[in-house]
Amino acid sequence: MATYDNPVISGFHPDPSVCRVGGDYYLVCSSFEYFPGLPLFHSKDLVHWRQIGNVLDRPGQLPLPLPGAKASGGLYAPTIRHHDGRYWVVNTNVDGGGTFVVWAERPEGPWSDPVWIDLPGIDPDLAWEEDGTCWCAFSGPEGGINIARIDPAEGAVLEGPFATWSGSGLKYPEAPHLYRIGQWWYLLIAEGGTERGHSVSIARGRSPRGPWEGAPANPLLSHSGTARSIQNTGHADLVRAPDGSWWMVLLGVRPRGFTPDVHVLGRETFLTPVAWDEEGWPVVAPVPERHEAPAGAWHPVPAVPARDDFDGPALAPHWISPFARAEESWSLTERPGRLVLNATGATLDRPGYTFVGRRQQHHGCRVTAEIDAGAGRGGLCVRLDEAHHYELDIGGGQAAVVARIGPLRQTVASRPVPPGPLALTVVIRTSDLVPASPELTGGAATGPDTIAFWLDAPDTPGARPLAELDGRYLSTEVACGFTGRVIGMYATEGTVAFDWFTYTPAAAPSA
């Protein structure tokens, strides 16, 4: 019997929305302040996913940097649907512009420029009636779910918006999705906030306008108050497989460490089966760490490449940058076979710097990159936001590990380095953690992981890291916000070049 492990898309990939076209599934996630925006995945079996692009992958689709951009701002909670031969994505830019729709003939793109819709709120959804009438449900600014009849191609609001269902009574009813299933319309929402109280609820009615009857078993799904290793379960979407089975994709987190536990990878994408009871209500069991796989042939796909030698004509779709990626800030042709970064800001502590990174997707991992900083200053950074990041910085003949934690910026360790290329390594591990101070739990480790920075190869006998830091300070529970860690390359002075970059997951022991 084939089984799958959760999450099915690890790392910072929240708010998943999915649609099926024939035997193909397509899934899109939130990207917040990062560009390119809205990562797009393809699967044949709901388990093995490959990123095939980003919905918003060119500056002309949105003003960049995002107006008023801030960490955990930007692009919230997209929905992807297929209708009348087109793929549609509806989304909200909370930092400027509001709600918009883009479309494509092929999921690989190109995607259209945004068509803006004058609707307030967040988390928009698209659903069509058989006669082509299009409805957009969304989380309204006053709380509760709103709905409007729209023309998505023109961006016109034809009727509404008007208030509809407000959930079962938990806070922040949001993330609506409308479905026509049999003779009923179902309205699936998230409630309880996106923290430990997150949950999924559902209602049904005979029309998209309502009135709505909530399921007697609401919330359908919540791990709140349980000891399960997967928490914050919510913001779900439903999809029907070719064999008639139903599945739910949703977000969740995997917290670790000493109480109250923290999560560092962000909200990830999970998969769980859905059954239907005799009264026509969906039944969802707790999200499993491992479960029997969907029926049918499996289609394993390559994971995100472990190594990038920057030999291609463009950056792979998993490379992201905060707020923008100015054309003059990077090049793959200036020194062929290398990623050249040109500084656009002098510090990582405020927006406007040059940074190219990828999501941390495993609790334990190792990242190594070769840098030539002879014409500038740069290095490797583990980033949550401008006030929470660790840097391994090379410049002026010195290597330094710098920690930015809230208002504190401190050089933790430094040493001279010779000119020429250097291999920089970050090792993140979940065992042999940095201990806390004696005042906390008698000196026992309290963080979820340790982040070590190396100039020498970690496998060299006798080698020691330049510094080891507690990972809890780069967690969502400390930094706040909606994102997860991103590990990447940066430049803060002049020009630096990276010959290659490797990301290697490590088996993470249980907490």
Residue 301 domain flag? no
Q: Tell me the average pLDDT across 93-104.
A: 93
Where does a domain end: 242, 267, 292? 292
d(CA 295, CA 241): 9
Answer yes or no: are the C-beta atoms of 82 and 88 closer than 8 Å.
yes
> Can the peptide bond before residue 216 be classed as cis, meaning omega within 30 degrees of 0?
no
Residue 299 domain flag? no
Residues 281 and 340 in one domain: no
Please indicate whether residue 195 is annotated as part of the active site.
Answer: no
Q: Tell me the average pLDDT across 41-55.
A: 97
Residue 194 domain flag? yes
Cα distances from 35 to residues 51, 66, 91, 190, 320, in angstroms, run: 15, 9, 15, 26, 5
Residues 338 and 483 in one domain: yes
Where does a domain end: 268, 292, 316? 292
Residue 174 domain flag? yes
Residues 20 and 123 in one domain: yes
Name the band, by pLDDT with cuts 50, 70 and 90, for residue 65: low
Q: Tell me the average pLDDT across 158-183.
A: 96
Answer yes or no: are the C-beta atoms of 36 and 382 closer than 8 Å.
no
Where does a domain end: 292, 323, 339? 292
Residue 297 domain flag? no
Residues 372 and 490 in one domain: yes
Convert the pLDDT of each residue in 303-328 to its tens digit.
677 899 999 999 999 999 999 999 99
Domains: count for the chain: 2
Residues 350 and 227 in one domain: no
Residues 125 and 217 in one domain: yes
Q: What is the CATH number of the domain that holds 395?
A: 2.60.120.200
Convert the pLDDT of each residue in 358-406 to its tens digit.
999 999 999 999 999 998 999 999 999 999 999 999 999 999 999 999 9
Residue 429 domain flag? yes
Query: What is the per-residue pLDDT for 510?
Result: 38
Answer yes or no: are the C-beta atoms of 503 and 487 closer than 8 Å.
yes
Q: What are the backbone angles phi and psi of residue 94, rounded to the nearest 5°?
A: -75, -10
Q: What is the CATH number of the domain that holds 286?
A: 2.115.10.20
Per DSSP, the three-state class of 198 is coil
Please indicate whether residue 470 is annotated as part of the active site.
Answer: no
| Given the residues 174, 385, 386, 470, the one annotated as active site | 174
Q: Which two tokens stand for residue 45?
A: 């079996």
Per DSSP, the three-state class of 37 is strand
d(CA 490, CA 52): 25
For residue 203, give its domain range: 3-292
Residues 49 and 189 in one domain: yes
Residues 372 and 243 in one domain: no
Please name the residue that has the structure tokens 């994971």.
303
d(CA 463, CA 114): 52
Q: What are the backbone angles phi and psi of residue 463, rounded to the nearest 5°?
A: -70, 145
Convert the pLDDT of each residue in 276-300 to its tens digit.
999 999 999 899 999 898 888 778 8
